Chain A
Amino acid sequence: MAEKNPADGNKDTALAALLAATAVIVGFIIYWSDEIQAVREMLELAYG
Chain B
Amino acid sequence: MGTYTRTISVGTVIVFGLIFALTDARHTTWQALLPLFEWMETTPPGVISQTYGAAFALVEAAHLIAMAVLGGAVLVADGRLLGLILRDVPLSRVLDQSHRLFVWSLAAMILTGVFMACGVALKVYYLNVFWYKMLALGTGVFFVFFVRRPLLRGDVEKVNPQLLRLVGIASLMIWFSVAATGRWIGFSG
CB neighbors of B among A8-27 (8 A): 8-25, 27
* Cβ contacts A4-47/B at 8 Å (1 or 0 each): 11001111111111111111110110011000000000000000
Residue of B nearest to A19 (CB): B10
What residues on B are CB-neighbors of A4 within 8 Å?
2-3
CB neighbors of A among B103-142 (8 A): 132, 139
Interface residue total, chain A, C-beta cutoff 8 A: 25
| A20/B147 contact (C-beta < 8 A), A14-B163, A25-B169, A31-B132 known | yes
What residues on B are CB-neighbors of A25 within 8 Å?
166, 169-170, 173
Q: Tell whether, in the assembled complex, residue B6 and residue A12 are in contact, meaning their CB atoms are under 8 Å apart.
A: yes
Q: Tell whether, in the assembled complex, residue A24 and residue B2 are in contact, meaning their CB atoms are under 8 Å apart.
A: no
Cα A6 to Cα B2 in complex, Å, equals 13
Q: Tell whether, in the assembled complex, residue B150 and residue A20 are in contact, meaning their CB atoms are under 8 Å apart.
A: no
Q: Tell whether, in the assembled complex, residue B3 and residue A21 are in contact, meaning their CB atoms are under 8 Å apart.
A: no
| A10/B158 contact (C-beta < 8 A), A24-B174, A25-B173, A31-B132 known | yes
A36 to chain B, nearest CB (A): 12
Residue of A nearest to B139 (CB): A24
| A14/B3 contact (C-beta < 8 A), A21-B166, A23-B14 known | no
| A19/B151 contact (C-beta < 8 A), A24-B143, A25-B170, A28-B177 known | no
B82 to chain A, nearest CB (A): 13
Residue of A nearest to B6 (CB): A16
B42 to chain A, nearest CB (A): 33
Cα A5 to Cα B3 in complex, Å, equals 8
Contact of B143 among A18, A20, A32 (CB under 8 A): A20
20 residue pairs A–B, Cβ–Cβ below 8 Å: A4-B3, A11-B4, A12-B4, A12-B5, A12-B7, A13-B150, A14-B159, A14-B163, A15-B6, A16-B150, A17-B163, A18-B163, A19-B11, A20-B10, A20-B143, A21-B147, A24-B143, A24-B173, A27-B139, A28-B173
Q: Which 10 A-B pairs have the closest CB atoms?
A: A21-B170, A8-B3, A24-B170, A28-B173, A16-B6, A20-B147, A16-B7, A15-B7, A16-B10, A17-B151
